[in-house]
Structure 1
Amino acid sequence: MKVIITGGGTGGHIYPGLAIAKSIEDKYSQAKILFVGNADGLEADIVPQVGYELATISSKGLPRKISLDILKSLFLSGVGVWQARSLITSFQPNIVIGTGGYVSGPVMLVAALLKEKTIIHEQNAYPGLTNKLLARLVDKVALSSQDAKEHFNVSTDLIWTGNPIRKEVIQAKKKESCQELGLDIEKKIILVFGGSRGAKSINQAMKAVYKLAQKNSQIQVLHITGKNDFHRVKEDATTLGISELEKGNIIIKSYLYNMAAGLAAADLVISRAGATGLAEITARGIPAILIPYPYAAENHQEHNARSLEKRGAAKVILDDELTGEKLVKEVNNLIFDQDKLKSMAQASKKLGKPEAVENILRLVEELI
């Protein structure tokens, strides 16, 4: 079996592709997989490190505002189409899978026009423009969120598969994870993170939650600040009398290498609303307070967050409305209300698709 997987720009488009590739390799040991991305995207670093071959093409997303950059984007995308055609005709794949990002546009367009078997995977509750257009041409569309269906006006098969996540996220155990991270399993554990770079607004509002944890010994906070904001948060913590950052009721880290352990330990999550993060949160069935990143394309993080909120799995605070007072009020309302936490956890679990990668593999097998 020969498979092309294309997608990139951000981890949210890359990691689902890597999970799909791993599942194909696990079942078909002779499978040959080629990733197609952009030389300037994160995939240029991540994909080769994992051990997969990466071919790059020219591509650039269309700017939101009218400018000369539109001409540059159209030119590069045109070049990308010809490069994609050359790659596909020489590699001769059995199937081409797109996981989003502007680089996937030329590849999936050419694959569909060449009558190759094609699947696109949409991670968000509100689909991006590229996938909306491609959905008219490909064989199947795999969806992370059931809410995405209403935004596609196509006859193509739309299947709610979920978003592929790492197996270790599902397999991690709470007791062992608490021990590894220096957390007390008897306390209510709050995991806070804002993505790999952190989230300044969340970090700022967390000072109020620190004060709550200082007053209440039954709360333990694991706050992942991101590398950019770590020193400022550390200074803020010092002014509150928190000197031991790696232990106690408030643990502050710049980065958590074993996020699977953090999720396994958590009774409540405070985070942004990226598709991959939410897939991991719901796969484990964790109640969440979500603060969507306000500058995401098509405001997709708010759509993602609202999808959980309307099903009772999360509370949402918009970034421009976020204050320490508002955040600590939500934490107070949830953390010691066992019935509410249980209800939210059950709602979250219903939305989780830990078997997402198997669902997508099934679609692949149906087509080939």
Structure 2
Amino acid sequence: MASNVVNLCQKSLQETYDSYSNIAPFPWWDGTDRLKLEDIYTELELQTKDGKKTDIAETDIFSPRDDCGTPRRIIIEGDPGYGKTTFCKKMAADWDKSDLWNYIQHNQSEICIIFDGLDEVPVKKLPSYFQDIVDQKFRKLKKSVVVVTSRMIREKNEKQHYDTQLCIKGFDDLTFKEFVKKHFKATHANEVHDGSFVMESFLRKLDDLANKDVLSDLSKSPLMALMLCDIAIENETLPETVTKLYTCLVDIVVKRYLAKGNYSEEAAAKMRADIVKALSEIAYESSGKIKDKDQHVLKIGFLTTASKPLSSGSLRYKFVHKTFQEYFAARYLSDLPPDETDILRH
């Protein structure tokens, strides 16, 4: 019986990790547009969070260093959209899928346990989660490496929980252009110029942006860089603020969805407003529930099924990226009447 459970676990892990190797950067992409992660993955730039802020290559995060010896408990922090989840998927996809049980039993020091998104844990539970991760629940695997990713956290005495603390710097100009080149090469592989024409057009649009400082901020984030690439296919100009970036992408995605139906211009405009309103309410309420009248928003691509169902047993839904929920929640608040927003401020 035990061996059957282990075999099922191993098979499930292999299928899951294999799925990480082929990704659709955004859920609203057609199924035929899935890309090989190895073709578009651009190595992140990391640095230590100690006083020296030493640059660390991805391949060296497990290597011995003067400040921490050989790290066994590693936390990697990064701003929203900086590639924490994709980094975790890349590590998992690269993992050698040999016999799972024997490998764990006899190669503890070569096991890496990855926790992605510690910042999504309720604040009150953070201290106990740290203890579980580094001490209690994994005491039997004390020789194994534990990697945790999170947005920037401010938990007291956080250093005591792990050996090294790293942060993702984001793309610089060179890595941003490398990412763009890989993206357009992968998404336009069947074209004569192998995506180079589209890429050059995109780079020209970047040069036309008046505010280069804003561009520098946007292009640091892999998620926002990807959004810029998607927008560039549809629009002649690029947005110059984070809010305009999200608004522009939402407009494009909703417009693509509505284009599949035979709607009049007036009907399409009303549906577009209704869709944005529904997504804004879902984001603000943050319950995971979808009202019957709003079921159509599930087809657009901003929501996906959560792993944990509602207490009633019904499916729970979440936004494909936390930043989309934050954007739509902000839209909900901005559309409230002045008297209601005054109550919220107090």
Q: TM-score, normalised by structure 2?
A: 0.29
Q: Which of the pair is proportionally richer in strand?
A: 1
